[in-house]
Structure 1
Amino acid sequence: MLNLIKNLIQVMTPEQRKKLYVLQVLVIISAIFEVLSVLSIGPFMAIVGNIDLVESNLIINKLYIISGATNNIEFLFYVGLGVLVLMFSAAITSIVTIWKLSMYAANVGSEFGDRLYEHYIRMDYQHYTTINSANLVKKIATEVNRVTDNVLQPLVQINARLATILFISIFVFIYNPMVAIVGVTVLCVAYFILFSIVKNRLAVNGKLISEYSRKRFTLMNEGFGAIKELQILGREHYFIREFEKSGKVFAASYGSSNSLYNMPRYFMEFVVYSSMVALILLLLKTYDSDLSSVLPILGVFGIAAFKLLPSFQQVYSGAAQLRSNISAFRSLEDDLRNANTGKDKPIESFSDDKLVGSLKLENISFRYKGSENNTLDNISLEIPLKSTIGIVGPSGSGKSTLLDILIGSLSIDSGKLLIGDSELNKHNLRLWRNGIGYVSQMSLIKDGTISENIAFGLKTSDIDMVQLRSATDMAQLTDWIMSLPEGFDTKVGEKGVQISGGQRQRIAIARALYNNADYLFFDEATSALDGVTEEQIMQSIANMAGLKTIVMIAHRFNTIRNCDQIYYIEAGKVVAFGTYNQLISQNDKFKKMAGGKL
């Protein structure tokens, strides 16, 4: 528990830690009011049991005189009213404390989610080649909520309740050491035994909840992403069955943990009430049925028990929740630490400053993590400014990897990438990206308007309509947009389902052009289109030849016929380069592949 608290505090921001320390003052004030409410009941019950104490007890008599009461009953009324005021004050401070602590925990949890989202969004692209994106979604959507509701909230509740238990226990010990020791010991031992019995089951449940939550997110991600294929193949039943199976395990683990959080309460109520009955009988026997002596003790310990039982239950329930959900925090801990270190500190946003010049790769080598062989091996090539370059080769030859290096998504293991006289590095990467546009085979089209998709990532109020129109003109998209009833404000649906594949790719090209890119990179951008649509898209690209530097990975050879230079890559190496006609006549493999798809 202490190790968890230490680690949790370490991943908090300095501001979050400061707020937590300030809240401790409120926790202590609340605990003091709880003690005062218990303390006040003793004198009140003593007077109820023996009204003559108003005259015989010096302290009570002085209070009687100060109160201005005209008789003993009126004084008893004032004392009772004072007790109620203290109890009401204790209740209000407890409510305020719990509210403040709960809001604090909720805000910290929300900020954890914000930090993780920013961390994941800004991670190097290479990280995404080794992880499942559904797991990242699960961490933010599910694990952060588990940490908020079942780690942070219980911890702050335990914090408040332990302070209450400590202060009340000290008071009742001073009031009657023997009864206090027996009572508090019974509660502590009983809850400790109960927690020892269930803690292993809770830990197992927590791991199952994490595991099967991840599995359900993966199934949703894969199922919804391949809905057409599933329905055509008739394989929906497999995903449905696996989702149901994982749901049953998830529900069983979740329900079991919730039951174990709350069940001890009813047993402990029996223990406490039985102890109170035993205490009453013991006191009556000890004091020979003298109610004036018995009532104060019963009142103090009755109210103390009334305060302590829910506090002990909340401590137990919180500890049980922590045990069951610590796996959620463990799954986020390293990422939160990395987010804290500033490793993914935001780089500069887009600006008009750019790196411009011919591209030159000198002896570039690259290997993916976990791979034994280089994906790219000692590649050298040059891309003149405003030229059109094609990159072709068999599947798995390293074409897309080379393009990812050119756009700065992957960092090379050795060699140099020069833009003009500047070597690309992490310090000038933003300047390089300011001048490039990228179009993939399946560019994301979000559920928004055409203008929002072209000016992707900008608020509607920040969209420059002049730049937007210029981009759509170059992508030969403007006439189609203006023919629509709502023009640029036309909704395209999730993944652009309401428009054709050709229009989706034109929107992606316009997006790449929106920031006045000097370099355009196409990663098999037309391979999923039919021949007629592909030809139209290629004509749009051809119209930009000589105006932009264009680099394209080709799926069909007819799309690269007019390139100024073509690089043929095989097994991570450039094995031939030249114009289309030169390669047809000089390279048998290129000639063979030119007859069909790459």
Structure 2
Amino acid sequence: MKALIHQVFGIFSRQERFRLLGLVTLMLLGAWVEVLGIGLVIPFLGILNNPALIHENPVLRWLYTFLGIQSEVRFMIFSTCALVLVFIVKNGVLAILYFSQAGFVVSKEVSLSSDLLTRYLAAPYALHLDRNSADLIRTVTTDVSRVTTGFLQPMLILVTELLVLAMIAALLIYINPLIALLVGAMMSTIGLFLMRYFKAALSEYRHDSRRFGIQAQKWASQALGALKEVKVFRAESYFNSAYESNIHGYSKGVRVFTFLSQTPRLVVETLAVSSMLLLVVAILSQEGDVRNIVPLLAVFALAAIRIMPSVTRIIAAIISLRFCRPALDSVTRDLLLPQRASGDSQEAVVEMDATPETLDSAVGFEGVWYRHPGMEQWILKDVSFHIARGECLAVVGHSGAGKSTLADLLLGLLEPDFGKVIVAGVDTGDIGLNSRIHIGYVPQHPYVLDESVRRNVAFGVSDEQIDDARVWQALDMARFGDKVRSMENGLNTEVGERGVKLSGGERQRLSIARALYFDPPIVVFDEATSSLDQHTEREINDTISGLAGSKTLIVVTHRLAAAARCDRIVFLERGSIRAEGKFETLYESCPTFRSMVGAAQ
């Protein structure tokens, strides 16, 4: 329990803890006005049943004299209005409490989901290699929702209702200790029995429900993401079957949770009615005259009406806390991720942004070794080379040679286990690299936003900060400007989800324009032409060649047509540099490269 409390409070900031303290104070006030409303019923019903109590009770007699009321009927009218006012104030306080609780929970859901997304984006790229995006999306959305509405809100409800129950119990004990203790013991016994049963039932389903939910979301995402392949290969039934098997497992857990959440009301209602009937019997056996027990019975009945939903809410809250505990574990685990990438201080970014043109755009690998975390096999082994300002270098090799890993290291997405990667005169291991300023990146399969051409080129820039002149300049450098000008809506043309309204070559040119928008001195092309036809490939290679000299270019490819245009080639084989030099030199001196050229012809 101590660990759970520490875990829950760990998700709150200092300011949120003060807000929580204010909520607890409001809960105490709410519990007090609840009891006040119930407690005032006794004297009110007493004077209705026996007006003589106005003169016999010292408090009522003083109030009667102080107010100067001349008749018992007027005093009873005043008492009625006063009791109505008390209940209005009570419900007003409770309304403020519920509104404050809802606002606290909703604001925490917003801050939690935003915080998690920030941490995922700032996390090392290696984390995303090990975890499925559906898992991360579910944590940001479903798990955060369960933590707030399924854990935090029930926790607040639990505290509120326990305070109310405690004060009502104190009032009933003051009125009739024996009966109150008997009823309390009976309800506590039933409550403990239910919780013991529910705990066993929930432990079987709560973890399975989350696991099946993640898998269901993953299969749905894969089915829609690969829609074209799904239709072509007629794999609809395969993906439907995989999704349905997991969603059934998820729904089974939700069904059990929903059933257990509703069951306490039935049990508590039966228990309350039985307790009230037993109370009538017990009081009659003590008092004998039924008229003497009407006010007392009314108070116990009113208390029971208020206690029944409280007990139901308490049990339902505890069930929800147990069921949503795995979501809390998932969220608190990922909240340990750093909010900012290692070494990426704001001061350093500002300094590097201020004078990008003064930095040397040379790139260097110095004795770099790399392997994925948990793997024994090295992907890159003692890789060393340098690129001069304005040079065009091709990194060539067969599939699995380590080309894309080299590009990821260059981009600062991965960090070498040994050695250094130097970009713009800076060791990427010493300081976070603002790659938008210093490196442009064109991947094999660029992610095209379901937005306008303008927003796709100025990737990650708010609308009010987009410079249209720079957008057009980038499009023209990518040899895509004339095509966009011919479109009816120009820069405002919507390109569709993943750029479905564009051809493969147009998507690639859009990606090149995106890489050039920030005018970086270094541009990396990672297999940028490998999925294009020969005609389009030749056009894209012409575009790349047009950038030579003004930019430092790194062309990662296994397509030798692109490599032949570069100033120099680094030939990778099994993670090591096998040969380095101009195309003709490698063709003459390296048999493996020569055989690769022969296979491509």
Using the size of structure 1 for normalisation, the TM-score is: 0.96
Alignment match, 1:412: 416
Q: Is 2:463 the counterpart of 1:464?
A: no
Alignment match, 2:597: 594
Measure how far apart 1:418 and its partner are.
Answer: 2.7
> C-alpha distance in 2, partners of 1:148/1:57?
50
Tell me, yes or no, if the aligned pair for 1:122 and 1:346 is still in contact at 8 Å.
Answer: no
1:78-127 per-position Cα deviation (integer Å, ceiling 9, x unaligned): 22322222222222212221221122112112211111111111111121
Alignment match, 2:331: 332
Tell me, yes or no, if the aligned pair for 1:364 and 1:378 is still in contact at 8 Å.
Answer: yes
Alignment match, 1:373: 377
Measure how far apart 1:2 and its partner are.
Answer: 5.2
Alignment match, 2:82: 82
Shift in alpha-carbon separation, 1:277–1:343, aligned structure 2, 3 A? farther
Shift in alpha-carbon separation, 1:81–1:8, aligned structure 2, 3 A? same
* Greater mean deviation of Cα atoms: 57-66 or 478-487: 57-66
Alignment match, 2:399: 395
Alignment match, 2:321: 322
Q: Is 2:556 the counterpart of 1:553?
A: yes
Measure how far apart 1:128 and its partner are.
Answer: 1.2
Measure how far apart 1:294 and its partner are.
Answer: 1.2
Letter in 1 for 2:375: S
Alignment match, 1:475: 478
Question: Residue 521 of structure 1: which of 515, 524, 527 is its match?
Answer: 524
1:500-545 per-position Cα deviation (integer Å, ceiling 9, x unaligned): 1111000100110000111010000011110000100110110111
Q: Is 2:509 the counterpart of 1:510?
A: no
Shift in alpha-carbon separation, 1:157–1:499, aligned structure 2, 3 A? same
> C-alpha distance in 1, partners of 2:280/2:426?
88
Give the SS at the match of 1:351: helix
> C-alpha distance in 1, partners of 2:142/2:343?
23
Measure how far apart 1:573 and its partner are.
Answer: 0.5
Letter in 2 for 1:133: S
> C-alpha distance in 2, partners of 1:215/1:244?
10
Tell me, yes or no, if the aligned pair for 1:105 and 1:156 is still in contact at 8 Å.
Answer: no
Measure how far apart 1:175 and its partner are.
Answer: 2.3
> C-alpha distance in 2, partners of 1:298/1:342?
66
Measure how far apart 1:192 and its partner are.
Answer: 1.5
Q: Is 2:353 the counterpart of 1:351?
A: yes
Letter in 2 for 1:434: I
Measure how far apart 1:171 and its partner are.
Answer: 2.1
Question: Residue 576 of structure 2: which of 569, 573, 576 is its match?
Answer: 573
Trace 1:239-258 onto structure 2 (pairs within 5 A). 239-258=239-258
Give the SS at the match of 1:550: strand
Tell me, yes or no, if the aligned pair for 1:204 and 1:324 is still in contact at 8 Å.
Answer: no
Measure how far apart 1:5 and its partner are.
Answer: 3.1
Tell me, yes or no, if the aligned pair for 2:122 and 2:339 is still in contact at 8 Å.
Answer: no
> C-alpha distance in 1, partners of 2:551/2:425?
19
Letter in 1 for 2:408: D
Q: Is 2:429 the counterpart of 1:425?
A: yes
Shift in alpha-carbon separation, 1:182–1:150, aligned structure 2, 3 A? same
Shift in alpha-carbon separation, 1:232–1:130, aligned structure 2, 3 A? same
Measure how far apart 1:342 and its partner are.
Answer: 9.1
Give the SS at the match of 1:394: coil
Alignment match, 1:313: 312
Give the SS at the match of 2:554: strand
Shift in alpha-carbon separation, 1:341–1:76, aligned structure 2, 3 A? farther
Letter in 2 for 1:450: V
1:201-252 per-position Cα deviation (integer Å, ceiling 9, x unaligned): 2232221220111011110121112222222222110110121222222222
Tell me, yes or no, if the aligned pair for 1:119 and 1:344 is still in contact at 8 Å.
Answer: no
> C-alpha distance in 2, partners of 1:426/1:16?
35
Give the SS at the match of 1:312: helix
Trace 1:275-314 onto structure 2 (pairs within 5 A). 275-289=275-289, 291=291, 293-314=292-313
* Greater mean deviation of Cα atoms: 230-239 or 571-580: 230-239
> C-alpha distance in 2, partners of 1:95/1:419?
59
Runs of 4+ in 1 over 4 A off after TM superposition: 339-347
Give the SS at the match of 2:130: coil
Letter in 1 for 2:182: V
Letter in 2 for 1:596: A
Letter in 1 for 2:361: G
Letter in 2 for 1:351: D
Tell me, yes or no, if the aligned pair for 1:555 and 1:597 is still in contact at 8 Å.
Answer: no
- Taking every aligned residue pair, what percent have the same amino acid on both sides? 28
Trace 1:2-21 onto structure 2 (pairs within 5 A). 3-21=3-21
Letter in 2 for 1:295: V
> C-alpha distance in 2, partners of 1:191/1:41?
28
Alignment match, 1:360: 364
Tell me, yes or no, if the aligned pair for 1:47 and 1:53 is still in contact at 8 Å.
Answer: yes
Question: Residue 447 of structure 1: which of 446, 450, 454 is its match?
Answer: 450
Measure how far apart 1:568 and its partner are.
Answer: 0.6
Tell me, yes or no, if the aligned pair for 2:361 and 2:552 is still in contact at 8 Å.
Answer: no
> C-alpha distance in 2, partners of 1:497/1:54?
83
Tell me, yes or no, if the aligned pair for 2:212 and 2:247 is still in contact at 8 Å.
Answer: yes
Tell me, yes or no, if the aligned pair for 1:386 and 1:545 is still in contact at 8 Å.
Answer: yes
1:345-397 per-position Cα deviation (integer Å, ceiling 9, x unaligned): 87547834334232221111111111102111111111111000001111111
Trace 1:34-433 onto structure 2 (pairs within 5 A). 34-289=34-289, 291=291, 293-338=292-337, 347=346, 348=349, 351-354=353-356, 355-419=359-423, 421-427=425-431, 429-430=433-434
Give the SS at the match of 2:60: helix
1:178-200 per-position Cα deviation (integer Å, ceiling 9, x unaligned): 12211222222211111111112
> C-alpha distance in 1, partners of 2:32/2:432?
59
The Cα RMSD (Å) is 1.9
Letter in 1 for 2:193: I
Shift in alpha-carbon separation, 1:130–1:195, aligned structure 2, 3 A? same
Letter in 1 for 2:371: R
Letter in 2 for 1:144: V
Measure how far apart 1:24 and its partner are.
Answer: 1.1
> C-alpha distance in 2, partners of 1:147/1:458?
32
Shift in alpha-carbon separation, 1:418–1:340, aligned structure 2, 3 A? closer
Measure how far apart 1:16 and its partner are.
Answer: 1.3
Give the SS at the match of 2:40: helix
Letter in 2 for 1:108: K
